[in-house]
A and B are shown apart, each in its own frame.
Chain A
């Protein structure tokens, strides 16, 4: 069965601390991996995707096929990073499905 796991429901860090939001997936084939973010009172939006290998707002995510993980990282968290983050594998021709999400709280 296809499954995506975000083990942490809440991650609280202080400003300037490193952040790692975990995502593990169990999918057949080779899914494309996305991270979506939902800031307070805003719509869900794409943060970054594996295929483009880019860094957005200081966040990066490395796909580890051996561990089937796609953890989201940022070396120095900012208060404006506080949001809900969703990992989303996509296999094409199906709807995008999301992990349960991790709420990141960055404290001053």
Chain B
């Protein structure tokens, strides 16, 4: 099992462009979570998805950000019209379940730089 895979590892975008971040969960995991880590800050929850469903997007900015986890393929975090403040590390995690005590497994993150 290759673990949670995120790509690209590094992404540079000019202001106004779109950024697409991909996350392939561990094999057999149907729960995916996205987190953002700003420089010198902790992890902030963004969105929690199951296959074809958004379960909790309470941490997602209302505009420009969207996420999906289709039946087939990786989960995608999409940021439209990026701004400098979007520069951060974006981490994806997956879990087998969400029952109490379930461990989450993390990817290595995508570092987005907006220039």
Closest CB-CB distance, B21 to chain A, in whole Å? 15
Q: Is B109 an interface residue (CB 8 A)?
A: yes
A92 in contact (CB, < 8 A): yes
Please give the distance in Å from B94's CB to the nearest CB on chain A: 11
Q: From A6, A43, A91, name the one whose CB has the most chain B CB atoms within 10 angstroms.
A: A43
Q: List which B29-46 residues lie within 8 A (CB) of chain A.
A: 33, 35, 41-43, 45
Q: Of B11-19, B62-70, B74-82, B96-104, which stretch is located at the interface?
A: B96-104
Is the Cβ of A32 less than 8 Å from the Cβ of B101? yes
Which of B3, B95, B102, B108 lies at the interface centre, i.e. has the most chain A CB atoms within 10 A of its CB?
B102
Interface residues in B, total, Cβ within 8 A: 25
Question: Given A44-B91, A45-B106, A49-B101, does the pair A94, B42 have CB atoms closer than 8 Å?
Answer: no
Indicate if the CB atoms of B109 and A92 lie closer than 8 Å. no
A51 to B100, CA, bound (A): 10
Chain A to chain B contacts (Cβ below 8 Å), 30 pairs: A31-B100, A32-B100, A34-B103, A43-B3, A43-B91, A43-B108, A44-B43, A44-B91, A45-B106, A46-B104, A86-B42, A90-B101, A90-B102, A91-B100, A92-B99, A92-B100, A93-B98, A93-B99, A94-B48, A94-B98, A95-B33, A95-B48, A95-B55, A95-B56, A96-B33, A96-B95, A98-B42, A100-B41, A101-B41, A101-B42
**When each residue 83-105 of chain A gets 1 if its CB lies under 8 Å from chain B and 0 otherwise, what string results?**
00010001111111111110000
Interface of B is mostly: loop
Considering the chains assembled together, what is the distance between the CA atoms of A92 and B99 in angstroms?
4
